Copies of this chain bind each other. A is one copy, B any other.
């Protein structure tokens, strides 16, 4: 079209797309550009604001690296990552939650009853539960990839003082679907806020905090893989998770327990002499 106007440009964009292109790509590009154009029209977006948007993307590009995923973080704090999770979450399974940028593949095996706390200080947390199907039947072949921050609020990949797989473990559940491990009570922490995404948070008067959580990827042959998190019910940031990861069924009470009640057969059995915390969390997987 030689007479492009602000009212017809969206249709012209759609008209440029070839008839024989992939139909799903057509649907995605049409919707994306319709919303992008509507955003500019709805707000009368100025040249200066457009330049700020480009500068934001270029600022993310400047710090993007193997260890710093600023575009993913932007998606997280804008709620897009959580929204995609929820769109594809099954109603009959445990809710999924954000993967985030801190998972590391290749975690060492952790036996049922094993310990991730090691020499780190802080309260012992005993986490246990059963991996079940949507009928409540245990799934013996399930695996749980577990990760969390150290007591300083940093993941191993952010912290040179930790081993590569500190607070990471890969557990094959028992024949009755049971899993259990000890660790240190996770702490709330901040997402990185020294980049362009931090600038957005500050411009919106928002904090960078996430509530404390254990992070699981649960897999089993024939079942849909699940990325999820377990949050303690008393966390101060539960209602304000900066990446929108909290779901009602993922909020669990950490029970206070006495050393004499600590179960037998665990790596730390006989070694716990202080009150500890315990959380039970069954995970439900739906079929592929």
Contact = CB atoms under 8 A, between A and B. Distances in A.
Given A61-B64, A82-B9, A86-B6, A25 B204 contact: yes
B206 A37 contact: no
A274 interface: no
B17 A248 contact: no
A1 interface: yes
Interface stretch (A40-48, A136-144, A147-155): A40-48
A208 to B, nearest CB: 12
Interface stretch (A120-128, A181-189, A239-247): A239-247
Copy total for this chain:
2
Contact of A203 (B21, B27, B206): B21
Interface stretch (A49-57, A110-118, A172-180): A49-57
Contact-size category for A: 35 or more
Contacts of A203: 21-22, 25, 29
Q: Binding site of A, secondary structure by majority: helix, strand, loop or mixed?
A: helix
Contacts of A78: 13, 32-33, 36
Interface string A45-86: 111011000100110110010000101100100111111111
Given A2-B238, A44-B88, A61-B71, 16 more contacts: A3-B248, A4-B241, A4-B245, A6-B87, A9-B82, A9-B244, A12-B79, A13-B244, A22-B203, A29-B203, A32-B39, A36-B78, A45-B84, A45-B87, A50-B81, A58-B71
